[in-house]
Amino acid sequence: MNVLITGGSRGIGAAIARRFAAEGMNVVIHYVNSHEQANETARECMSLGGGQIMTVSADLRSRESLERMREKLQAAELMPDILVNNAGVAHYGLLSDVSDADWDDVMAVNLKGVFLCTQLFMPDMIRTRWGRIINISSIWGISGAACEVAYSAAKGGVNAFTKALAKELAPSGVTVNAVAPGAVNTSMLDGFEPQELRQLEDDIPAGRLGEPDEIASLVYFLSLPESSYITGQVISPNGGWIT
């Protein structure tokens, strides 16, 4: 079984890569610029399982770049049975301060990248009548967040994309789901002061941040053959923060 994880060099993406590698699957770790981090994650994956591990760089904003990535995977016989659209960028600030370039970049990576990757890799899943597309969204795509309007809008788009495509692909045996994590202990929270993190944890009924491995476990569950009746769902592991 082949798995492609976009943005797989660190954080939640790296945890997902490690989880699939530990199950003996062939794992492709996509990255844009984080070459060393991608190689480190690949080394970790190789130490965990017997599957083939590959790293590949591509710009999610560019169809041409992603088409070249697809050609590499095809040549390596690593076309994905499971596609995890994980890559994303955040943007913090008042909407009044968001430039056109900021808005376009957030939409290009978080939403257009999901569209392009899915469109390029789903035909093989349809042909074989089996596949899993798992989109990593965010709690903010469900509830929205002040000072993160662009990010919230992009992730809300991912949720709608997931629901619509699930209906389109269900007759072909391909499931499409989204995982919308709450606050997770990754580098995306590096900008928070310690007291802000404590306040955040106090706001979460579980009393703590989520861990990347917990998100990876849910992604893995959704990829299983026995999860074939779960499609079109947006599942939010968030410690009871939003129910």
Q: How many beta carbons lie within 10 A of that of residue 146, not counting itself?
A: 9
Instruction: Report the phi/psi class of residue 77: left, alpha or beta, with left for phi > 0 and alpha for psi in -120 to 50.
Output: left
CA dist 22 and 38 (Å) reads 17
Give the C-alpha separation, 114 to 83, whole Å. 10
Asked about 151 being catalytic, the answer comes back as yes
Per the residue annotation, which of 31, 92, 151, 220 is the catalytic one? 151
Non-local (6+) Cβ contacts of 209 within 8 A are 183, 184, 185, 189, 197, 200, 201, 239
H/E run at residue 159: helix 149-169
Q: Which residues are marked as active site?
A: 151
